[in-house]
Amino acid sequence: MSLHGVALVDKPIGMSSFAVVSRMRRAFRDLGISKAGHTGTLDPLASGLLPICLGEATKFAQRLLDADKGYLATIQFGSATTTGDAEGEVTARSECAVSASMVAAALRRFLGRTLQRPPAFSALKIAGRPAYQYARDGVAIELPLREIEIHELQLRAFDVEHQRAEIEVACSKGTYIRSLAVDIAAAVDAVGHLCALRRTRTAGFRVEDAHPLDMWTSANEEQRGSWLLPTDSLLSDLPAVVLDGVRASDLRNGKVVALPADHAGDATELVRAYDAREVSAAFVGLARMISRTELRAERLLSTA
């Protein structure tokens, strides 16, 4: 098995992202993998897609941290909580009856670029401390508004009796679905909170292709190897450049190399670099075009 790659985990409810990473690190430890990291936190309340970068793949994890995400979220109307989700204490109630048409109309107001205020119970740092520590201490701090972008927002189902709406969201990084749930409730003159959340997409990865955490930890080495995605799958949106042996070696040694004649692109463009000498043109790493004819290493796999 390769000692680096991406494991698509379907995270269970009730477990932190850090705990999932720890269990995956232990599962792969016998194979010599000591480094592991997730590509975007999911709260314990949430389930769904959590890509875990293993070994050398951790060098490229930032690409998924910056990527768009997709979610299925359930909003409970009629009660607000301290945390904006079902884990908090109820702070307010509203008696108005919300309808599916009211929610559908409100959702359209949140599409596109907008400003969002992160929840008080978040990991954002204020003077070196996470915001949730201030909130737990009873210190009221209003976090500044941040720009986000909602690409898609659709009502999937509405439960009139229980006053719950299931929505599908496609959004930019940094979007807090808890805050979105609270804001949608306010848009229909009610209060509400997020009562369920499932991540369905991260960049080009889908939850349908993930395996539950227990399957990863109980599988044998051969099974885990067949499920592990190659490191370059993190960069699949970038163009590929296949280098001959001399150019590939020079790139690994930090030299600026000439692009193959059949490749042309914009200066500063990032590309996936491959070594033509190796089987199936092995992935070398991430490189940047510094001109239309020259390439320089940006981040490479270790040759050790």
**What strand order describes the sheet that includes 294-300?**
240-243, 270-275, 282-289, 294-300, 257-258
Report the pLDDT value the prediction gives residue 171, as an integer from 0 to 100.
97
Among residues 10, 43, 85, 275, the one annotated as catalytic is 43
Residue 250 is a catalytic residue: no
Q: What are the structural domains of the chain?
A: 5-67+204-234 (3.30.2350.10), 69-202 (3.30.2350.10), 238-300 (2.30.130.10)
Q: Of residues 65 and 74, which shows the higher confidence score?
A: 74
Kindly state the average pLDDT of the residues 50-59.
93
Q: Residue 126 is encoded by which pair of tokens?
A: 């204020």
Q: Are 156 and 167 in contact (CB under 8 A)?
A: yes
Rounded CA separation 272/119 (Å): 37
Rounded CA separation 159/145 (Å): 31
DSSP 8-state secondary structure symbol assigned to residue 198 = E
Q: Residue 92 is encoded by which pair of tokens?
A: 């307010």
Q: Is the pLDDT of residue 247 over 50?
A: yes
pLDDT tens, residue by residue, 117-156: 888 777 777 777 777 777 676 777 777 889 999 999 999 9
Where is average pLDDT lowest: 56-70, 82-96, 266-280, 289-303?
A: 266-280
pLDDT tens, residue by residue, 75-115: 999 999 998 999 889 999 998 899 999 999 999 999 999 99
Report the pLDDT value the prediction gives residue 33, as an integer from 0 to 100.
79
Q: Which amino acid is at 30?
A: D
Give the helix ranges, DSSP H, for 29-123: 62-65, 100-107
pLDDT tens, residue by residue, 285-303: 999 988 888 899 999 998 6
Q: List, in order, residues 6 or more apart from 268 with CB less than 8 Å away.
A: 288, 289, 290
Rounded CA separation 296/252 (Å): 9
Return the SS3 of 118: coil
Q: List, in order, residues 6 or more apart from 213 with CB less than 8 Å away.
A: 9, 10, 11, 12, 15, 20, 23, 24
